[in-house]
Amino acid sequence: MFTKTKDYSMYVAGEWAVGESEARMEATSPATGERIGTVPEGTREDVERAIAAANEAWSGWANLSAFERAAAMIRIAEVIEERRDDLAETLTLDQGKPLATEAYDEVDELVAYFEMAGADATRLEGAMPPSVDADKRVMLYRVPRGVVGVISPWNWPYTMPAELIAPALACGNAVVWVPAPSTSVCAVKLAECIVDAGLPSGVFNMITGPGPVVGDEVAANPGTQAVGFIGSIETGQKVAARAAGKTLLLEMGGNGPMVILDDADLDAAAEAGLTSAFLGAGQSCTAGERFLVHERVYDAYLDGLGSAIERGIRLGDPFDPITTLGPLNNEPTADKMDQHISDALEGGAELVSGGARAEGFPTDLYYRPTVLGKVTAEMRVSREETFGPIVPATVIRDEEEAIRTVNSSPYGLLSAVFTRDLARGLRFAEAVRSGWVNINASSNHWESHLPFGGRAGSRSGVGRVGGRYAMETFTELKTVIVSL
């Protein structure tokens, strides 16, 4: 296919700009290998200018009524809906998601995030606790923190930033956003929707560029009062260190277990396994990257999963409507798949299917859906976040072993368990150290209005995204006492 290339801009202080240095970064499609444009290589000075503009603008934005800000969120949602086709096609080209089966879904969810933020902003309530003095009245207000820095990943380049940007804006903050470099064209397209909805100058800013430069400045600069980050554990820890003393919302990595107990509905668990392992080409923090299968049903489950993969997974051109599995987004992710598979096979794992990059495609980023059997806890594929289309299957003897295995992991984002016994499922849910547990649903099932984040004591993050729960981080309580 022919792809138009374009030199895109960043958005700072109410203007589209090329950046302080005028240097540019190339954007290349993982789907086609084509150059699809360039984006500015932002500098610390660009971030400083954006933060200064945001600090100047936020109080005026905060002083609008919640209903006025909600109306702005609805305008953003309407612009996104009008540009649905362009946004979806850009997502497929820039990120690699299959157009018909995944890209349109992400755009539709993006609309929901801004609509939900608008509604939640009008219901952000305070309280009137009693005073010890009968002649005084106490009021607690929820007020915005000021300027929120947002640093977002490439795997969901529309919805992941939106679950931070939308609530931050809706409850009265200004935003300075640094998107992932490898999906910066998507970021520009989303920024255009926000800008064209007519927000006041300085309230929203977007700077493209290398994370260690522009992301670091957003985290460390004293002009941001809160920082929201979604991404890897390694980067998140750096962000947390640089933003020390600020309010943080960190949604980091996972290695989500899919536990298949001996009384599970194996057909349902196999179908859920497809979503767990292959949604977004496995590039999801909630992907089922450890399949813990009871020894009594282990062989039957892998047989059923193999049949489900044959029926339901089609690796191919992401613009083809029958494709369900597109390319990985970038070479480091594909290389990690290579390393994890090699390490597992050297350690004695069994290659059930896949296990290598696919040939005959425009780029080397297309990976065959992979199933590994006889995986053990020592293998990297068990210990680390692979972030690819892979099912690493481990034999377990009982429910207690499953719980011990899950709780021995440094991750604590999301777990899933399959069992016909609801009480057994609830015992599992209450025993595992995960922020979210699905019973008889894929590890990749989640709902955008519900609180989502890592369990305390894990490396998966702090705070909660999801609807109004992010607003609890991006606002703070202010106490006012009135003498009658």
Domain membership of residue 458 (yes or no) is no
Average the pLDDT over 330-337 and give the result. Answer: 98
Average the pLDDT over 148-156 and give the result. Answer: 98
Question: Which domain CATH number covers 342?
Answer: 3.40.309.10
Band of the pLDDT at 3, cuts 50, 70, 90?
A: low
Band of the pLDDT at 256, cuts 50, 70, 90?
A: confident
Task: For the chain, give the secondary structure using H, E and C.
Answer: CCCCCEECCEEECCEEECCCCCCEEEEECCCCCCEEEEEECCCHHHHHHHHHHHHHHHHHHHCCCHHHHHHHHHHHHHHHHHCHHHHHHHHHHHCCCCHHHHHHHHHHHHHHHHHHHHHHHCCCCCECCCCCCCCEEEEEEEEECCEEEEECCCCCCCHHHHHHHHHHHHCCCEEEEECCHHHHHHHHHHHHHHHHCCCCCCCEEECCCCHHHHHHHHHHCCCCCEEEEECCHHHHHHHHHHCCCCEEEEECCCCCEEEECCCCCHHHHHHHHHHHHHHHHHCCCCCCCEEEEECCCHHHHHHHHHHHHHHHCCECCCCCCCCCECCCCCHHHHHHHHHHHHHHHHCCCEEEECCCECCCCCCCCCECCEEEECCCCCCHHHHCCCCCCEEEEEEECCHHHHHHHHHCCCCCCEEEEECCCHHHHHHHHHHCCCCEEEECCCCCCCCCCCCECCCCCCCCEECCECCHHHHHHHEEEEEEEEEC
Catalytic pick among 171, 186, 193, 285 = 285
pLDDT the model gives residue 5: 86
Is the pTM above the cut of 0.95? yes
Domain membership of residue 1 (yes or no) is no
Domain membership of residue 123 (yes or no) is yes
pLDDT tens-digit map of 264-282:
999 999 999 999 999 999 9
Are 267 and 176 in the same domain? no
Question: Which domain CATH number covers 188?
Answer: 3.40.605.10
Average the pLDDT over 220-229 and give the result. Answer: 98
pLDDT at 1 over 60: no
Residue 399 catalytic?
no
Catalytic pick among 41, 115, 217, 251 = 251
| Domain total in the chain | 2
- 469 lies in which domain range? 6-252+463-483
Domain membership of residue 453 (yes or no) is no
To the nearest whole percent, how much of the chain has pLDDT over 70?
A: 99
Residue 285 catalytic?
yes
Are 210 and 186 in the same domain? yes
pLDDT at 216 over 70: yes
Domain membership of residue 213 (yes or no) is yes
Are 266 and 244 in the same domain? no
Domain membership of residue 454 (yes or no) is no
